[in-house]
Structure 1
Amino acid sequence: MTYFLLLVVVALAFPWGASVVARRLADVLPPRQACWTLTAAAVLMAGGTISALIGLFHVPFLASLEQVPLARVLEVWPAAVPVAVAAGAVMLVQLVLLVRRWFQHRSLLRRAWLSAAGGTGEGDLLVVPGDDVDAFALPAYRGRRGRVVVTAGMVDALKAGEREVLLAHERAHLAGRHHLLSAVADLSTTVHPAVRSVRESLSFHLERWADESAAAAVGNRKTAAAAIARAALAGTSRQHTSGGYPLLSVTTGPVPQRVAALLGPEPAAPEGGARRAGAWGLAVTVAVSAVAALALAYGLHEYVEYAAIAVRGG
């Protein structure tokens, strides 16, 4: 069983290394590709963790399917039942956290829609009266299409050209369905703590994606940078968060880094060595996960077959 346990340890420890690879790869990719890479990495890490736990949990049950007495299983692996119980308990906790986080997301959207109920505007824009300085993308909810919500205070704080950047930024969030990517990464954190760093990196790159879309829409990167900086300085300290899941706002994330990126050249796909290194890093990450999952399944099969043969021979 040493081989089997080693596979389980690899599968459970894998996300810590994978999160580092995913974040570094995202840093050399354009924002859009970085966001998809980070989201895929979060799903991959969560899936590998669940697979390992299911494997541990099913050892006694797989043995019973082969009509192997539990006593014989314990002779081969005395810790089989305690480990299976522990794996089941962990998965139960994960399920509770997942359901709780999902309802937090829905509650956050419901409260956001209620806060925007007094807004007026045309098309996808809602202007909410009040002195608060705020703006965010409000995803679709219960048959209502997504809207860009801007407070009157934010409208007054920006110049005409900067308002155009603000609206383009929030519309990019809605068009790219960034709330779904953010939700997937956030829900994945309930499975493995290593995903939290990936979620934080994803939040930054989602804002960078919207920043670049806004800069392209207005055709001036300096104007976009100025608008982002002014909106952040004028914005309120109120945070739209619930368990790490944000409403997508122009003032979210490390604004100085976002402004500095907009003042630089438009990001492009990495060339030469950087692109090859990133591709190899991602390929190795996927390969390790796939091999660990296959080896884990094979180890379970061999273990059950060994125990069954031992019973028949005895």
Structure 2
Amino acid sequence: MRIAVYLPLLLSLIAPLGARPLSERCEPRLATWLLTASALVLGAASTISLGLLAVTGLIRIPLLAGLGHWSASTAQRDDPAELSVALIAGLLLGGAALAAARMLWRRARSLAAAALEAACMPTPNGLVIVDDETPDAFALPGLPGRVVVSTGMLHTLDETEHDILLAHERAHLAAHHYAFVALTGLGAAANPLLRPLATAVTYTIERWADEHAATATGDRTQVARTVGKAALAAHHAPARPRAPGAALGILGRRSPLSSAGPVPRRVAALLAPPLGRSLGLTVATAAVLTAAAWSTAEAAHDLHLLLKAVGAG
């Protein structure tokens, strides 16, 4: 436990360094899955590690040790963690639990509001056109979801670009991209060190939808032109109320992932050949997640042995 319990925390420091390579060098669908899995596994592993460290501090308190029939003096002698470390871990664990609960509540409310709004938009084919001269388009998750497009966006794009726009937005709904955003957000809420992974996912899901549109239309250059044209039109349009929090659109979300904005990088990616599945990045990610899971299990086993020892003492 002396080393294993700290390994998930160390990996949480290292893992964000892989967010940029995964999002830029790996096929978008695979990159999204790898980033989401990383955020969830590392978020859970680091939270469990904090919990294990906090327990080592609790068993040193005579009153709590008595409830578990443990020897507080033996725990003080055999416990591998300093009391100050256990106390800090307990505070961090409390903060992580509160942040994760708050994020779950806000995301649940956002998805529920989106589903309710989608249900109030009757349409035979899932497309809702709103009378608004501000160029905008987004996918609204629901049962079923809706693609919402403003008249301003329709006037901005031609018929071929309309098909690209719809293919992009429908890809968000078909692949449940809002779920990837929610899951990585949960991991980042539990462990703020993982926020770059959540930021990267907001980019890779847009790339995923871009590639779907390119496959559906067979013209990557035209898709790149459509993405740039829609973003440019929205940039010069007057400000308007934001779309529902759970909505995902072709304009994407502002991202600090790199100095260049996400839209120019998406356009550049579409003008380049399609990315393949990077075996090296996939293996490296799998190795990190395996190490995090193994170290957490090992630390939990070591704590079990410690509790048996202090119980015997």
State the TM-score, normalizing by the size of structure 1.
0.83
Q: Tell me, in whole angstroms, the C-alpha distance in 2 between the residues paired with 1:122 and 1:248.
A: 21
Residue among 252, 258, 277 paired with 1:269: 277
Per the alignment, residue 191 of structure 1 pairs with 190
Question: 1:278 Cα deviation (Å)?
Answer: 2.2
Answer whether contact 1:25 1:281 (CA < 8 A) is retained: no
Relative to structure 1, the CA distance from residue 94 to residue 54 in structure 2 (aligned partners, 3 Å threshold; closer, same or farther) is same
* 1:216-231 correspondence runs (5 A): 216-231=215-230
Is 1:15 equivalent to 2:12 in the alignment? Answer: yes
Residue among 99, 102, 127 paired with 1:100: 102
Q: What SS does the corresponding residue of 1:67 show, helix, strand or coil?
A: coil
* 1:213-292 correspondence runs (5 A): 213-235=212-234, 236=237, 240=242, 247-253=247-253, 254-270=262-278, 275=279, 277-292=280-295
Is 1:51 equivalent to 2:53 in the alignment? Answer: no
Relative to structure 1, the CA distance from residue 150 to residue 64 in structure 2 (aligned partners, 3 Å threshold; closer, same or farther) is farther
Relative to structure 1, the CA distance from residue 186 to residue 22 in structure 2 (aligned partners, 3 Å threshold; closer, same or farther) is same
Identity among equivalent pairs (%): 32
Which region of structure 1 is more displaced relative to structure 2, 192-201 or 55-64? Answer: 55-64
Question: 1:187 Cα deviation (Å)?
Answer: 1.4
Give the total of aligned pairs.
297
| Larger relative contact order (CA 8 Å, sep ≥ 6) | 2
Residue among 123, 126, 130 paired with 2:128: 126
Relative to structure 1, the CA distance from residue 239 to residue 168 in structure 2 (aligned partners, 3 Å threshold; closer, same or farther) is farther
Q: Tell me, in whole angstroms, the C-alpha distance in 2 between the residues paired with 1:146 and 1:205.
A: 21
Q: Tell me, in whole angstroms, the C-alpha distance in 2 between the residues paired with 1:35 and 1:107.
A: 24
Q: What SS does the corresponding residue of 2:189 show, helix, strand or coil?
A: coil
User: Which residue type is aligned with residue 188 of structure 1?
Assistant: G
Q: Tell me, in whole angstroms, the C-alpha distance in 2 between the residues paired with 1:290 and 1:99.
A: 23
Q: Tell me, in whole angstroms, the C-alpha distance in 2 between the residues paired with 1:263 and 1:239.
A: 32
User: Which residue type is aligned with residue 249 of structure 1?
Assistant: G
Answer whether contact 2:141 2:246 (CA < 8 A) is retained: no
Q: What SS does the corresponding residue of 2:133 show, helix, strand or coil?
A: coil
- Residues 254-283 of structure 1 deviation map (CA, whole Å, 9 limit, x = unaligned): 11111111112233334xxxx2x2243123
User: Which residue type is aligned with residue 14 of structure 1?
Assistant: L
Question: 1:190 Cα deviation (Å)?
Answer: 1.0
- Residues 128-149 of structure 1 deviation map (CA, whole Å, 9 limit, x = unaligned): 1122211111001xxx411111
* 1:58-207 correspondence runs (5 A): 58-59=55-56, 60-61=58-59, 67-77=69-79, 83-109=85-111, 121-140=123-142, 144-207=143-206
Relative to structure 1, the CA distance from residue 6 to residue 118 in structure 2 (aligned partners, 3 Å threshold; closer, same or farther) is closer
Relative to structure 1, the CA distance from residue 71 to residue 170 in structure 2 (aligned partners, 3 Å threshold; closer, same or farther) is same
Question: 1:189 Cα deviation (Å)?
Answer: 1.0
Q: Tell me, in whole angstroms, the C-alpha distance in 2 between the residues paired with 1:48 and 1:78.
A: 19
Per the alignment, residue 29 of structure 1 pairs with 26
Q: Tell me, in whole angstroms, the C-alpha distance in 1 between the residues paired with 2:30 and 2:145.
A: 23
- Residues 195-236 of structure 1 deviation map (CA, whole Å, 9 limit, x = unaligned): 110011111110000001011112211211111111111125
- Residues 32-88 of structure 1 deviation map (CA, whole Å, 9 limit, x = unaligned): 111111110111111111110221233345965762232432344497666555434
Question: 1:250 Cα deviation (Å)?
Answer: 0.2
Question: 1:95 Cα deviation (Å)?
Answer: 2.5
Per the alignment, residue 256 of structure 2 pairs with none
Q: What SS does the corresponding residue of 2:149 show, helix, strand or coil?
A: strand
Question: 1:5 Cα deviation (Å)?
Answer: 4.3
Q: What SS does the corresponding residue of 1:190 show, helix, strand or coil?
A: helix
Gap regions ≥5 residues in structure 1: none
Relative to structure 1, the CA distance from residue 25 to residue 266 in structure 2 (aligned partners, 3 Å threshold; closer, same or farther) is closer
Answer whether contact 1:118 1:129 (CA < 8 A) is retained: no
Relative to structure 1, the CA distance from residue 84 to residue 239 in structure 2 (aligned partners, 3 Å threshold; closer, same or farther) is farther
Q: Tell me, in whole angstroms, the C-alpha distance in 1 between the residues paired with 2:276 and 2:81.
A: 52
State the TM-score, normalizing by the size of structure 2.
0.83
Relative to structure 1, the CA distance from residue 297 to residue 119 in structure 2 (aligned partners, 3 Å threshold; closer, same or farther) is closer
Per the alignment, residue 300 of structure 1 pairs with 303
User: Which residue type is aligned with residue 122 of structure 1?
Assistant: P
Gap regions ≥5 residues in structure 2: 254-261
